[in-house]
Structure 1
Amino acid sequence: MLASLSIRDVVLIDRLDLDLGPGLAVLTGETGAGKSILLDALGLALGARGDSGLVRAGAAQASVTAVFEVAEDHPALTMLAEQEIPAALPLILRRTVTPDGRSRAWVNDRAVGVGLLRQLGEVLVEIHGQHDQHGLLDPRTHREVLDQFGGHEALKAEVARRFREMQAADTARDRAEAEAEAVRREEDHLRTSLADLDKLKPQPGEEEDLVHRRQRLQNADRMVAALNAALDALNGEPTLEVRLLDADRALQRLPDAETDERVRQLRAGLERASIEIGEGVAGVERLLADLDLGEDSLEVVEDRLYALRAAARRHQVTTEDLPELARKLRARLELIDGGGTVAAKLTAAAAEARRVYREVAEDLSRARKAAADDLIKAIAVELGPLRMGRVEIAVAFDPLPEDAWGPEGIERCQFMVRTNPGAPAGPLARVASGGELSRLMLALKVVLARTASAGTLVFDEVDSGIGGAVADAVGERLQRLGGHAQVLVVTHNPQVAARGDLHLRVAKRVEGETTLTEVRALTAAERREEVARMLSGAELTAEARAAADRLMSLAVRS
């Protein structure tokens, strides 16, 4: 919803701040008062072309700021997230234009391109005028509108999922076929390389193990010599244990050997030393026994290490990658050695994925055609009171070629209109006249109100060229539409103006030699006077005021 609109120095508007709310807002005023300027300013904030002619004479720049209140899941916030722009609420769109035509745009105080501003504008506001070629007048939106009306979200999601599966299956098949062809071109090289690796039989972690074994073998002689020397020193004749035993026996011969505490401590120390020496001998013997040098010689280990590294260089990989390389080569050769089995399976899988996609896409097509029938009937109900009972709406379905199938289905959908019996049906924008088009858009939006994507709808003189009961029917539908979305309408019809929840009057004022346009929200009493003016012209009469009272009371009751 458009919460506020601030305009500075746009054509005849020097300064304007409007606060808007939900429901139906009507803009009235004399012809030439500047109602179109207000819409041009809003269009500028929504990414329309920045014309230097919009800048008020003598001003440094024109500036428009539009503030929108939207739900946290609104598509506009998704767009901002994709551009890494903070999606703070409310959403503030700002645009400036200088007299030399230069334009700048901001969203939430972040400078952006006008293209992004235009994309945001398309999901925030729909403007329906006699020359607007967007919204429902853009055939690219018709399929989405039909799906929203029919409630096809789950079916559309299934079609999109099946389309992605079909793409993945086609890609897998095409990749396998391309790989098989590449294998055939380099088959001799692949087979030679695989034979080389199969003969070598590289193992994961083998290089590290060989390096460690080579290091041990290179140090083997020194390690054995050192351990044997240690044993010789410990086991020399007489052994250290024998010497310690002789020392203990000598101490036993001392007087009072059994009672002298010092002698006992010496003998205990000799006993501990004997035990430690025994453990030391046993430890050295264990080290010597555990010195597993394997059956391979240093020459064998180095030859194996050289062979692995040479193979890695030939294939431009690491030695650790050689086993995986052999697996990949074998898998590639299986593409042709398997007699086409892999390719045949992938081709069958791709065909099945295409069959399933087409099946669910045809389900969606049937659902769309059923929804189109219901939509046409609902629109026909609305067209009668709008003096368009002879207008016929249709939905054209054009099948797409297979190479144009997509996640949204297998056909294009376009709304068509026949304004006169016997005349050919054609696209909305080409067949209907300005007034017919505006009322046709109104009927469509009333029917589609509950599924509208934009929270704000603008109708520029939707009631052009009509009056009486038809104008009242237009007003009633605009009021009804205002119950589902924010609606802004420029009108010259009192029947429409009387139904507004908010009434804005556009008028000119002259200050010295300067003409300015002002917009003001009317009070209840002022609304009565404005509706009466629209009924009677410049001279207000009691009858006009009474008629205005009747129109406004009818609007409240409905």
Structure 2
Amino acid sequence: MLHQIRVRDYAIIDEVELELDPGMTVLTGETGAGKSILVDALGMVLGDRADATAVRHGAERAEITATFDLSDMPEVARWLVEQDMDAEGECVVRRVISREGRSRAYVNGCSVTLPVLRTLGEMLVEIHGQHEHQTLTRPSVQRQLLDSYGGHDESCAAAREAFGNWESIRDRLTALQAANENREDRLALLRYQASEMEALGLQPGEVAELEAEYLKLSNVERLASAADEACQLVYEAESGSAQQLLARARQSLQTVVEVDPALAAAARLLEEAEIQAKEATDDLRRYLSDLDLDSGRQEQVANRLASIRDLSRKHGVDPEALDGKLQDLRGELDELENTALTLDATEKALTDAEKRYRSAAEALSRRRGGSAERMSEEITTAMHQLGMPGGRFQVSVTSPDADRFAAHGVDRVEFLVSANPGQPPGPLAKIASGGELSRISLAIQVIATSASGLPCLVFDEVDAGVGGGVAEIVGRRLRELGDEHQVLCVTHLPQVASQSHQHIRVTKLTDGKRTRTMLTPLGDEERVEELARMLGGVEITGTSRRHAREMLGLSKKRG
């Protein structure tokens, strides 16, 4: 469950900290106090898109931290272990948003990307907004609500996987069929290109060897001149060669070594240098003897390199990649020469994939059909309780085109409603008025979320547009949800607030220069005052206090 949320410098909030208990918690307060901002902050820390407007005016950054107790959430705990973010039964999520709009997210101290944060958020909290009824008429939303209510996750995943496999094989077959249309022309081209490369006979490493040899052949005169000059300077000059100078130096030292033996080491080194000079000269003489001055060989190497480079440009690859290109050509050639076999195998694979998809889609359709009946009955009952006694709700599941495959199956899910007795059910968007749509939306949210496996459910003013006895029933249903889940509810209705296990008052304070938000957990007497305010407006009377006390008393009696 959500144990604590801490918000700093977010929107109009300077710094608040809220600790939550199990059961149903309500947030109440004047309009504009910041109740829904807290819900927005919770959505932000769990992956909603952020921008610079989230940061409180004058602050450098906004920071939101949510702490979750995972003792009843083994799947989340396992997921964190798999992601190397385990923290022994606790999950601390933190989001920092800079004044420039950049954001960073952390889970148990580990930096995470926004997609990872959203994946985690979807396992922790389900948020229902006050404008959710506006999306309720979309077919995709209706299908998702039915699947959520029925717990169809595994069946949906099976259909989605089967569709992906079928789609991949279908695309492969389409490509093969397109290739087969100009098969002969393509075969002729591939055979010519492959034979051209085979005729070239390029060997591994040959390009580098040829380039090195060409560089040497094109600079042969410079190489010969440098080697000959080195021979002269080191040994062959008639006077002043390095060998002669080294010999004179050695001889000079040898005449005095007996006087001071310390010079013996230097004399030996000079003698070794003479030997090395002689060896270097021998190497240079052999090099000059072996140096190939044949201009014909240079032309031969140049022509070979030109042929290789021409072919590499023709195929748009580096010379070193020509061998790999040849293997690709041979592979495509082999595939095209065996197209008939490949086409037959792919067509058979597509038929098998289609059977697997149809099986998965039919299994999902059966589950949806059973869930649709139960959901229709429960929402119809809820509509009666919410002030629509003659209303009827129906979840229609049809397969108008079973050959039109999709990742979500072949079903069309549609919510139909009859607001009055004797009226046939029609599409939700066309039949229900604005007020009726709000109440139907509320019934759907309460019924659908009752089957949710998520531990924390958030309702942000979803009770807008209802009042009186209907509001009291809404409060009871939310409290019933609170017996199985942790429920956080933003409300303006005293009938809803009186049903809660925990009551938080949200207050906006200002000194004329800056505005801040304060959260106050309420005790019994403070709850009476807050409910009386919600009932009576600006002036709280004894009558409104008695009414508030009576509402709290009735709520406690019901449990």
TM above 0.5, yes or no, is yes
Tell me the equivalent position of 1:312: none
TM-score, scaled to structure 1: 0.62
TM-score, scaled to structure 2: 0.61
Aligned length: 424
Tell me the equivalent position of 1:215: none
Correspondence list, 1:338-487, <5 A: 344=344, 347-348=347-348, 350-397=350-397, 399=399, 405-415=405-415, 425-426=426-427, 433=434, 436-487=436-487
How much does 1:406 deviate?
Answer: 4.1
Tell me the equivalent position of 1:65: 65
Contact 2:164 2:407 in 1 (8 A): yes
CA distance in 1, matches of 2:128, 2:527: 25
How much does 1:18 deviate?
Answer: 0.5
Q: Structure 1, residues 24-52: CA drift from partner, whole Å, max 9, x if none? A: 11111233333233233333323444354
Correspondence list, 1:232-247, <5 A: none
Letter in 2 for 1:492: H
Contact 1:446 1:480 in 2 (8 A): no
Tell me the equivalent position of 1:105: 104
CA distance in 1, matches of 2:145, 2:184: 51
Task: In structure 1, list runs of 5 or more residues that go unmatched.
Answer: 192-315, 318-325
Contact 2:416 2:425 in 1 (8 A): no
SS at match of 2:484: coil
Letter in 2 for 1:96: V
Tell me the equivalent position of 1:31: 31
Tell me the equivalent position of 1:126: 126
Contact 2:498 2:531 in 1 (8 A): yes
How much does 1:533 deviate?
Answer: 3.0
Letter in 2 for 1:106: A
Letter in 1 for 2:102: S
How much does 1:8 deviate?
Answer: 1.2
What is the percentage of aligned positions where both structures have the same residue?
Answer: 37
CA distance in 2, matches of 1:549, 1:491: 18
Q: Structure 1, residues 64-112: CA drift from partner, whole Å, max 9, x if none? A: 222234523249948x96xx6735553333333444x423131314444
SS at match of 1:378: helix
Contact 1:442 1:478 in 2 (8 A): no
Contact 1:415 1:428 in 2 (8 A): no
SS at match of 2:546: helix
Tell me the equivalent position of 1:278: none
How much does 1:54 deviate?
Answer: 4.1
CA distance in 1, matches of 2:411, 2:487: 32
SS at match of 1:130: coil
CA, structure 1 residues 105+76, in 2 after alignment: closer, same or farther (shift >3 Å)?
A: farther
CA distance in 1, matches of 2:41, 2:123: 18
Tell me the equivalent position of 1:18: 18
SS at match of 2:5: strand
Contact 2:419 2:431 in 1 (8 A): no
Tell me the equivalent position of 2:215: none
Letter in 1 for 2:75: D
How much does 1:138 deviate?
Answer: 6.4
CA distance in 1, matches of 2:443, 2:471: 13
Letter in 2 for 1:520: T
How much does 1:428 deviate?
Answer: 6.2
SS at match of 1:8: strand
Correspondence list, 1:474-513, <5 A: 474-511=474-511, 513=513
Tell me the equivalent position of 1:230: none
CA, structure 1 residues 96+346, in 2 after alignment: closer, same or farther (shift >3 Å)?
A: closer
CA distance in 1, matches of 2:129, 2:453: 18
Correspondence list, 1:106-185, <5 A: 106-108=105-107, 109-114=109-114, 117-118=117-118, 120-132=120-132, 139-152=139-152, 155-156=155-156, 159=159, 163=163, 166=166
CA, structure 1 residues 364+119, in 2 after alignment: closer, same or farther (shift >3 Å)?
A: closer
CA distance in 1, matches of 2:433, 2:125: 22
SS at match of 1:106: strand
Tell me the equivalent position of 1:299: none
Letter in 2 for 1:439: R
Tell me the equivalent position of 1:94: 94
Letter in 2 for 1:102: G
CA, structure 1 residues 439+460, in 2 after alignment: closer, same or farther (shift >3 Å)?
A: farther
CA distance in 2, matches of 1:102, 1:190: 54
Task: In structure 2, list runs of 5 or more residues that go unmatched.
Answer: 192-321, 324-329
Letter in 1 for 2:551: L
CA distance in 2, matches of 1:149, 1:112: 31
How much does 1:148 deviate?
Answer: 4.2
CA, structure 1 residues 176+392, in 2 after alignment: closer, same or farther (shift >3 Å)?
A: same
CA distance in 1, matches of 2:61, 2:430: 35
Letter in 1 for 2:504: L
Contact 1:417 1:432 in 2 (8 A): no
Letter in 2 for 1:15: E
Tell me the equivalent position of 2:9: 9
Across the aligned residues of Structure 1 and Structure 2, the Cα RMSD in angstroms comes to 4.6
Contact 2:150 2:367 in 1 (8 A): yes
SS at match of 1:41: helix
Contact 1:396 1:413 in 2 (8 A): yes
Contact 1:497 1:503 in 2 (8 A): yes
Q: Structure 1, residues 417-455: CA drift from partner, whole Å, max 9, x if none? A: 56578699446699663x545533332233223431543
Correspondence list, 1:213-232, <5 A: none
Correspondence list, 1:508-547, <5 A: 508-511=508-511, 513-547=513-547
CA distance in 2, matches of 1:519, 1:72: 31
Contact 2:507 2:519 in 1 (8 A): yes
Q: Structure 1, residues 225-274: CA drift from partner, whole Å, max 9, x if none? A: xxxxxxxxxxxxxxxxxxxxxxxxxxxxxxxxxxxxxxxxxxxxxxxxxx
CA, structure 1 residues 9+428, in 2 after alignment: closer, same or farther (shift >3 Å)?
A: farther
Tell me the equivalent position of 2:56: 56
CA distance in 2, matches of 1:40, 1:93: 15
Correspondence list, 1:262-411, <5 A: 335=338, 344=344, 347-348=347-348, 350-397=350-397, 399=399, 405-411=405-411
